[in-house]
Structure formats: structure tokens, C-alpha cells
Structure 1
Amino acid sequence: MCLPQKYPKPDTFEYFQAGYRYDAITHKSLVGPNEGDFDKNWYVICSNYFDDPFYVDFSEGDKEFPVYFSWHGAGNWMPVKVAETLSEFSDFLTIIKNIEADSQQAVKYLEEHSDLTNEFWKEVYVEYLEKAEEPINELQITDKSEWIKGKVIITDIGKDKLKLIQFIKDQLNLTPQQALVVSKQGEIEYKEGYLAHLKHIVNQLKAMGATAIFRPDPV
């Protein structure tokens, strides 16, 4: 869900900028000169499941167009560089696409070829790490302290509220209105089960900017 899923066609490139460079309804320009504004030289080249944009700066052609990423709905646009050049980014995505059926191989590739201190690549890594985990049963658990039942509780959805609301809506099969109501709760009961099964979900939510805990059931 973190990596690009939506791409513009040549004849829809300008329309693809809606919500980033201009308001889709009023067509009012959204670009600005201040920090946190969408810069006049930025153009979105693709977006992910959450409509988070990947973009290039048209003034950086001499640098072969480094690729930047920002979280949509964060309140401002803070660029995170995800590739030194557009070509490098394209090659990386092609490799991941070719190996993503084998999540463990994708995890290994990300460990060896991406900067896991980078906020974006760390989030991608957590996503593939979750996919790579094999189903766990009681006999496989060596740490018996993890065989305790409880719930994953989201105590704060974080700064990127729209992204987490979208995630909650899809994962809990809610309508947009229901997801919005749930997001305003002080605590959100996200999932229940055993710690061994749920600890990676806590890590995934934290990587997405939320505050989440595992709360054991009362004995």
C-alpha cells in the first residue's frame, strides 16, 4: 500500500495534479512559496493507495530528477527524498514488483538496498515484513510470555489523520462516516488475539505514525 499504485497517462497528467497543485473542485491553485506549501516546480508522477504523492521538481533536471514523497493530509508538504534520480526510482520499483510475490525476498532486498532510516522506506519495509511473517501456532512460540490474549489499542492516530482513517476504514470494513467517528474515540480497539500474532501489527501502526499498544485481557 505504501508503494506507487496509481500513475497518470500522458493525457491525464494535468488532471493527476488535482489535490496537490490545485483544488479539484474550485480549480484554485494550491502552490505557494512558503515552507510546507506545494512548490510551483513540483509535479506528481504517481501516488500510492493512500493518495500520498511521489513527485519531482521540474527545476532539478540537471540532477536527473530526484524523487520525493510526502504524506497526504499531514497539514503541510514536507518532502522526503526517496531516490536520487527518477531512473533509479523506476528501476527499484521494477525489481520490487518482480520479487514481491516472495515477501521474504523483498524484505531481504529492502534490507540490503534501501535506507531504513528513511521514514518512507522504513514504512515500506514494515509492510513487507508483515507479509513475510508465517502463520504462528502455539508450538512455534519459544517465548511463552507472548502466548497471552489481549487487544491492540490505538490511543492516538497521529498527525497523518486522513491516512489512518482510510486504513481503519478498510481494515475494519467501515463506511467513511463510521471510520471518522471511530477515529475520534480516545481509544480504538483495533484487533484482538494473542501477542505473538499481534505484535507486528503494533509495529506497523507505529510506523504509520499512530500510537498503539497491546493490552492484555484481565486475568
Structure 2
Amino acid sequence: MNIEQYIEIRRNIPLDEISFGYQTVRLFPVEELEEAQVGYSVDPSGAKLTGDDEGDWKYSWLVIGYEELCGDPFFVDLNEKELPVFTAAHGEGAWNPLLIASSFIGFIECLNEIRRISNGRDNPVSLEKNPLPEVEQNQVLSKISELNGNASLEFWESWFEV
């Protein structure tokens, strides 16, 4: 897959932001993708920051969004046909990717699951007034697991931590 193919897919997905409790995820519109790579694959002057060593930002990784709480990026691997989605803590001195969705489409489907339960729970105050029952949390996590096969649930479970 290449960036043009990702852009074609992304243009057909209207989702830009989803919030639930303390967590907000933002996906970059296509027009912001180039700028979104600064600090990851390139520095502000355009010099490459990628490498092949353990902990380096890989050339095939494309930043597609971030989570607001810590500012950690979401990125896809353009070398993979299904565009698996990863996150990694920034500011650690090395990039240690965590697979959170086995495909970009699966990632969007997971976010849509979160969107489904976020009505009346899109900020900490509203979530406190209208908590999501544990049974429903487990149903959502089960659906996310079903959508993503071998991807880690760690990121998705964090949505329900207070």
C-alpha cells in the first residue's frame, strides 16, 4: 500500500474525532497529513528522522492521528496491505509500537464502536453522571477484539479507566 492509496481510503471516511470520558482521538484530514509527519519521519526543516534500527521511526510509518490525553501518535505501516494501526509513547527516546488495530478499516470500526457508546459520555463530567455499565464495557471490548484479531486490547481498555 502507498500513501496515495491510504489517502483514497481516508477521503471516504468522515470520522475526524471521537471522545469518551477523558479520551479523545483525532484523525488528521488528508490535507494535514504532510504537516503531521513533522517530528516523526521528518524534522521541521524536512530532514529525515527515519532509520532501520530498533526504536527508530520507520520509513513506512505514516502518522494518521493522535490521542489528546498524552499526545501519542497513531500511525499505519504503509508496507502492509491492510494498513495495521499502531500507537507508541512519544518522548521515550525510542519508538516501541503497540499494534492497536490489525487494519485501518478495523481501527475505524473500533472507533465507531466507541462512538456508539459515547452519546452522553463524551467528557469526564458526563461520563461520571452516565457511567457505562461493566457489562457493556465488556461487550464493546469483545467486539473490538473480534474486529482486530491479534491486536492488543491495552489501548482500548484504557478508554474505560478513570
Compute the TM-score of the two structures, normalised by the length of structure 2: 0.65
Q: How far is the alpha carbon of 1:107 from its aligned partner?
A: 2.2
Aligned position for 1:42: 61
Aligned position for 1:147: none
- Amino acid across the alignment from 1:103: L
Aligned residues of 2:89 and 2:95 also touching (Cα < 8 A): yes
Superposed, 1:49-68 pairs within 5 Å as 49=68, 50-61=70-81, 64-68=82-86
More helix per residue: 1 or 2? 1
Q: How far is the alpha carbon of 1:108 from its aligned partner?
A: 2.5
- Please report the RMSD computed on the Cα atoms of aligned residues, expressed in angstroms: 2.7
The CA distance in 2 between the partners of 1:54 and 1:10, in whole Å, is 14
The CA distance in 1 between the partners of 2:141 and 2:32, in whole Å, is 35
SS of 2:51 mapped into structure 1: coil
- Taking a change above 3 Å as real, the CA distance of residues 121 and 3 of structure 1, as seen in their structure-2 partners, is farther
- Taking a change above 3 Å as real, the CA distance of residues 9 and 79 of structure 1, as seen in their structure-2 partners, is same
Aligned position for 1:98: 116
Which structure is higher in RCO with an 8 Å CA cutoff and minimum separation 6? 2
**Which among 84, 95, 109 is matched to residue 139 of structure 2?**
109
The CA distance in 2 between the partners of 1:10 and 1:123, in whole Å, is 24
- Amino acid across the alignment from 1:30: L
Aligned position for 2:12: none
- Taking a change above 3 Å as real, the CA distance of residues 85 and 126 of structure 1, as seen in their structure-2 partners, is closer
Aligned residues of 1:96 and 1:106 also touching (Cα < 8 A): no
Residue 140 of structure 2 is aligned to residue 122 of structure 1: no
CA deviations 1:34-65 (Å, max 9, x no partner) are 1110000100111111221111111112xx11
The CA distance in 2 between the partners of 1:123 and 1:91, in whole Å, is 15
Residue 47 of structure 2 is aligned to residue 28 of structure 1: yes
Q: How far is the alpha carbon of 1:121 from its aligned partner?
A: 3.3
- Taking a change above 3 Å as real, the CA distance of residues 127 and 71 of structure 1, as seen in their structure-2 partners, is same
The CA distance in 2 between the partners of 1:39 and 1:119, in whole Å, is 19
- Taking a change above 3 Å as real, the CA distance of residues 129 and 46 of structure 1, as seen in their structure-2 partners, is same
The CA distance in 2 between the partners of 1:7 and 1:127, in whole Å, is 17
- Amino acid across the alignment from 1:82: I
SS of 2:64 mapped into structure 1: strand
Question: Percent identity, aligned pairs only?
Answer: 26
Gaps of 5+ in 1: 131-219
Q: How far is the alpha carbon of 1:75 from its aligned partner?
A: 1.2
- Taking a change above 3 Å as real, the CA distance of residues 58 and 31 of structure 1, as seen in their structure-2 partners, is same
> How many aligned residue pairs are there?
125
Aligned residues of 2:63 and 2:75 also touching (Cα < 8 A): yes
Give the greater-gyration-radius structure (CA).
1
The CA distance in 1 between the partners of 2:59 and 2:24, in whole Å, is 22
- Taking a change above 3 Å as real, the CA distance of residues 89 and 58 of structure 1, as seen in their structure-2 partners, is same
Superposed structure 1 runs of 4+ greater than 4 Å apart: 1-4
Compute the TM-score of the two structures, normalised by the length of structure 1: 0.50
Q: How far is the alpha carbon of 1:2 from its aligned partner?
A: 7.9
